[in-house]
Amino acid sequence: MSKIEAIERFLNPKSIAIVGVSSDFSSISGKPLKNLLLHKYKGYIYPVNPKYKEIEGIPCYSSILDIPGDVDVALIAVSSKRMLQIIEDCKKKKVRNLILFGSGFAEVGEEGRQLQEKVLEKAREAGIHIIGPNCVGLLNVKESIPLGFATSFETEKGFHSGNVGFASQSGATGFSLFGLAQEEGIGFSYIVNTGNQMDIHSFDCMEYMLEDEDTSVVAGYLEGIPDGEMLIEISKSSKELDKPLILLKAGRSELGRRAALSHTASLTGSEETFQAIAKQHGIITVNDIDDMIDAMKVFSRGKRVKGNRIVTISNSGAAGIAMADYSEPLGLEMVRLTGETEAKIKSIIPPYGSALNPIDVTAQALKEQHILTDTLELLIKDDQVDAIVFQTTFGGELGKKICQKIAEIDQKTDKPILVTLTGTSELTGEGRTILRNAKVPVYPTTYKTMLSLKYLVDFSMFNKKKNAEFLSTANLNNVKEDMYGIWTEDRVKQELKTLRIRVPNGIVIKDRKQLEEIKENLNYPLVCKIVSSDIMHKTDAGGVEVNILNPVQLERAYGEILKAVTQYAPNARIDGVLVEEMIEEKGIEMFIGVKQDPQFGSLIVCGLGGIFIEVLKDVSIRKAPVHLNEAHEMLKELKGYPLLEGVRGEKPRDIAAFAEVLSKISQYASQNNGQISEMDINPVWVFEEGKGIAALDGVIVWKECLGKSVTI
């Protein structure tokens, strides 16, 4: 049985066993049965505990082996120490789906980790799939099937079904969010708490939810990345299916990472890398539960935007200013209205209002409520407007009437309308309810509204992007015999030449005899650099001499470099001295790097080069490979990007040439994914526009070299 098939059975079981059940419905082992009865589960229920003959009139069995019928899913509420025997019993009974509630596994240390591995090994041998351990269960909201003991299951009002699927490593966080979202009128299809993710993990559940026809928004709470490549694959499905993927990832700080490890035995990974991957693949990332609920709200409506051009309407000048202030940093354009639209709005609003965006209809709308709604209908018809934010403080009967009218207008258009309705529940609660029932996204503050609109714009714009083709790179797939150890600068530059990347002309001098033979025939000025896999920071070792103008200076530089390096690192292996042309064109120093991430594989990095890497830490990251459009996006993210565009009279630099090289190196890294530990091309000089680039230094550390102490 595949994981997808297993998840289908978990969510739609025809029969459920509860192993370790209790008649005390206030206990963890009693609540699963209580919840199934509360929500009138229609399948077979088989309580298992030798202490009881029956519970609530349902026969209770001494062992899972005594159950007379088939069991689709078994809920296991017993000690972790009994798990190996439970697996054996389930194997004999041909129970293939288990939910493990108990703790005492990898999250508690080495002994628990070993037990978890043994349980998983036995389960795989038996063809058993597991959700958990250390989880509170799952909920098929569509069919009202609660499998577990989450407090949210105990509602007597029933569940609000809808189009949001949610997978969470944390049970408390996941089902708390569910409860709050239900109060906001957000309907769900499924919720699964994966806990320690021994077998089935959060991405498996998200994959299932993306394919589910009743689920159009998929969200997740993560404490680690169980499978980096799978995350990328489901993000591609998200784009293809036009179903937003919203993620809240814990462990962004060092303290948070340690807490996540102890909580669910997760290795959280680099937050910087995770955010880069999310941006590259159109994943919506949020900072907390509130933000996730707000994102769910705007996406569950199902509308998309054509662009980022927004118009805001309010009965408060201050609110309009706040919306304008938030729009720019959030990447939203407060579009200038067409003359015709502006003139029509002026004819509707009081003369002391403002028809400019943000539109201020003033408090006169208290008397004439049509002012707000007539203005809204005008903007709906304007093709230059992609989305509308409607802000009001009106409550009571007037507020209800306005909200009802907004809901009616919203049903007639594909254009997103978001509402900020400020005020107490006593005054504005009925208006909020009207909007929620109509699926109109409504928020209590301006910032929450504008941030939610940003999520919608980002996803809509990402999905409009066409898949770009990669550059054709010569010899990209050629496997070299020497792809091991450390490639020093001279060898790296040979490789860059095969990729059609400009490097200075040079030669490695092995000894003084060779120096004597060639010194008169070289083109001066020159640069000399030590070549040694044991010396990565050549300048620190005295291994670099520049502006060498003649053969005499070359001989002196050669001798001084060897002397300095020998004193710096007496045991270093010296392969020679690289002598190459000194490029005198003025260029901006950039760098291109590759690093191997344990979760996502080869990453491509760029930023300002030279000493600025460590000082400014101004870098952009993507998973390799990146096409030209992505390479340009990476550069635009840099704080130093204006230097490339040209500032204070400086001419623009050859951004296109650098982006092309960045794309080529990323493809090289991707083709050698898993083989390159680190790669550093630094500096890369970027010359004036049209004059290209030159890679002046570089090193590659191949995977086979990881056991050696190397500093790049």
pLDDT digits (tens, 9 = 90+) for 573-629: 999 999 999 998 889 999 999 999 988 999 999 999 866 676 777 889 999 999 999
Quote the pLDDT of residue 115. Answer: 86
Q: Please identify, among 581, 607, 632, the residue that sits at the C-terminal boundary of a domain.
A: 581
Q: Please identify, among 88, 116, 137, the residue that sits at the C-terminal boundary of a domain.
A: 137
Which amino acid is present at 55? I
Mean pLDDT for 269-279 is 86
CA distances from 683 to 177, 401, 526, 590, 657 (A): 48, 64, 17, 6, 15
Same-domain pairing of 571 and 595 = no
Contact 64, 83 (CB under 8 A): no
Which range, of 121-135, 177-191, 270-284, 692-706, averages the lowest pLDDT? 692-706
CA–CA separation, 68 and 48 (whole Å): 12
CA–CA separation, 643 and 649 (whole Å): 11
Mean pLDDT for 50-58 is 95
Q: How many residues does the chain have?
A: 712
Which amino acid is present at 691? K
Beta strands per DSSP E along 149-305 = 161-168, 188-193, 217-222, 245-249, 284-285
Quote the pLDDT of residue 366. Answer: 67
Tally: H helices and E strands in the chain: 23, 31
Q: Is residue 539 part of a domain?
A: yes
Q: Is residue 239 part of a domain?
A: no
Contact 357, 285 (CB under 8 A): no
CA distances from 413 to 297, 311, 336, 387 (A): 18, 16, 21, 11
Same-domain pairing of 311 and 458 = yes
Tokens (6 digits) for 390: 């409607």
Quote the pLDDT of residue 610. Answer: 67
Q: Please identify, among 464, 487, 513, the residue that sits at the C-terminal boundary of a domain.
A: 464
Three-state DSSP state, 667? helix
Quote the pLDDT of residue 264. Answer: 33
Quote the pLDDT of residue 365. Answer: 66
CA–CA separation, 101 and 577 (whole Å): 64
Three-state DSSP state, 59? strand
For 299-314, the pLDDT digits (tens) are 999 999 999 999 999 8
Three-state DSSP state, 228? helix
Q: Pick the residue with more confidence: 352 or 644?
A: 644
Identify the band that residue 267 occupies on the pLDDT scale cut at 50, 70 and 90. Answer: very low
- 66: nearest Cα among 43, 78, 50: 50
Q: What are phi and psi of 460, to 5 degrees?
A: -60, -45
Q: Is residue 178 part of a domain?
A: no
CA–CA separation, 527 and 544 (whole Å): 7
Q: Are strands 526-531 and 576-581 parallel, antiparallel or unpaired?
A: antiparallel
Quote the pLDDT of residue 482. Answer: 82
pLDDT at residue 74 greater than cutoff 50: yes
Which range, of 169-183, 242-256, 382-396, averages the lowest pLDDT? 242-256
CA distances from 660 to 473, 628, 657, 665, 692 (A): 10, 6, 5, 9, 10
Same-domain pairing of 682 and 598 = yes
Same-domain pairing of 550 and 623 = no
Q: Is residue 477 part of a domain?
A: no
Same-domain pairing of 336 and 436 = yes
Mean pLDDT for 394-420 is 92
Contact 186, 160 (CB under 8 A): yes
Quote the pLDDT of residue 467. Answer: 65
Quote the pLDDT of residue 636. Answer: 95
pLDDT at residue 36 greater than cutoff 70: yes
Helix then strand then coil, % of the chain, to nearest 5: 40, 20, 40
Q: Is residue 42 part of a domain?
A: yes
Please provide the average confidence, as pLDDT, over all residues in the chain.
90
Three-state DSSP state, 552? helix
Identify the band that residue 469 occupies on the pLDDT scale cut at 50, 70 and 90. Answer: low
| Percentage of residues in the chain having pLDDT higher than 90 | 73
Quote the pLDDT of residue 712. Answer: 36
CA distances from 131 to 30, 74, 195, 573, 652 (A): 19, 11, 8, 54, 56
Identify the band that residue 423 occupies on the pLDDT scale cut at 50, 70 and 90. Answer: confident
Which range, of 266-275, 438-447, 495-504, averages the lowest pLDDT? 266-275
Mean pLDDT for 12-17 is 98
Q: How many CB atoms lie within 10 A of CB 91?
A: 16
Three-state DSSP state, 350? coil
**Beta bridge mates, 701:** 486, 678
- 20: nearest Cα among 71, 60, 59: 60
Quote the pLDDT of residue 470. Answer: 60
Quote the pLDDT of residue 254. Answer: 54
Same-domain pairing of 58 and 78 = yes
Same-domain pairing of 419 and 445 = yes
Q: How many CB atoms lie within 10 A of CB 366?
A: 13
Mean pLDDT for 673-686 is 92
Quote the pLDDT of residue 263. Answer: 33
Q: What is the CA radius of gyration of the chain?
A: 32
Q: Is residue 194 part of a domain?
A: no
Quote the pLDDT of residue 368. Answer: 77
Same-domain pairing of 560 and 593 = no
Q: For residue 572, give the CATH number of its domain.
A: 3.30.1490.20
DSSP 374-437: HHHHHHHT-TT--EEEEEE---HHHHHHHHHHHHHHHHT-SS-EEEEE-S-HHHHHHHHHHHHH
Which residues are CB-neighbours of 516 under 8 A, at least 6 positions away?
Answer: none
Q: What is the largest CA-CA distance in the chain?
A: 103
Q: How many CB atoms lie within 10 A of CB 360?
A: 22
pLDDT at residue 501 greater than cutoff 50: yes
CA–CA separation, 223 and 268 (whole Å): 6
Quote the pLDDT of residue 506. Answer: 94
Distance of alpha carbon 470 from the chain centroid: 23
Contact 631, 259 (CB under 8 A): no
Quote the pLDDT of residue 265. Answer: 36
pLDDT at residue 55 greater than cutoff 60: yes
**Domain around 690:** 588-705
Same-domain pairing of 357 and 380 = yes
Quote the pLDDT of residue 710. Answer: 42
Quote the pLDDT of residue 255. Answer: 46
Which amino acid is present at 76? I
CA–CA separation, 123 and 89 (whole Å): 11
Three-state DSSP state, 43? coil
Q: For residue 459, give the CATH number of its domain.
A: 3.40.50.261
pLDDT at residue 635 greater than cutoff 80: yes
Q: What are phi and psi of 619, to 5 degrees?
A: -130, 160
Identify the band that residue 298 occupies on the pLDDT scale cut at 50, 70 and 90. Answer: very high
Which range, of 125-129, 468-472, 514-518, 578-582, averages the lowest pLDDT? 468-472
Identify the band that residue 705 occupies on the pLDDT scale cut at 50, 70 and 90. Answer: low
Same-domain pairing of 310 and 384 = yes
Mean pLDDT for 193-201 is 94
Same-domain pairing of 6 and 124 = yes
Quote the pLDDT of residue 9. Answer: 97
Q: Is residue 490 part of a domain?
A: no
Q: Pick the residue with more confidence: 555 or 705?
A: 555
Identify the band that residue 711 occupies on the pLDDT scale cut at 50, 70 and 90. Answer: very low
Tokens (6 digits) for 444: 């209590």
CA–CA separation, 153 and 143 (whole Å): 13
CA–CA separation, 493 and 489 (whole Å): 6
Question: What domain count does the chain have?
Answer: 4
Same-domain pairing of 660 and 571 = no
Q: For residue 598, give the CATH number of its domain.
A: 3.30.470.20
Quote the pLDDT of residue 143. Answer: 96
Q: Is residue 290 part of a domain?
A: no
Mean pLDDT for 350-376 is 83
Task: Classify residue 600 as exposed, middle or buried by CB count within 10 Å of its CB (0-12, 13-18, 19+).
Answer: buried
Report angle CA 417, 420, 426 to the nearest 5 degrees. 130
- Half-sphere exposure in the Cβ direction for 132 (13 Å, CA): 28
pLDDT at residue 707 greater than cutoff 70: no
CA distances from 106 to 135, 226, 237, 267, 350 (A): 13, 14, 31, 12, 67
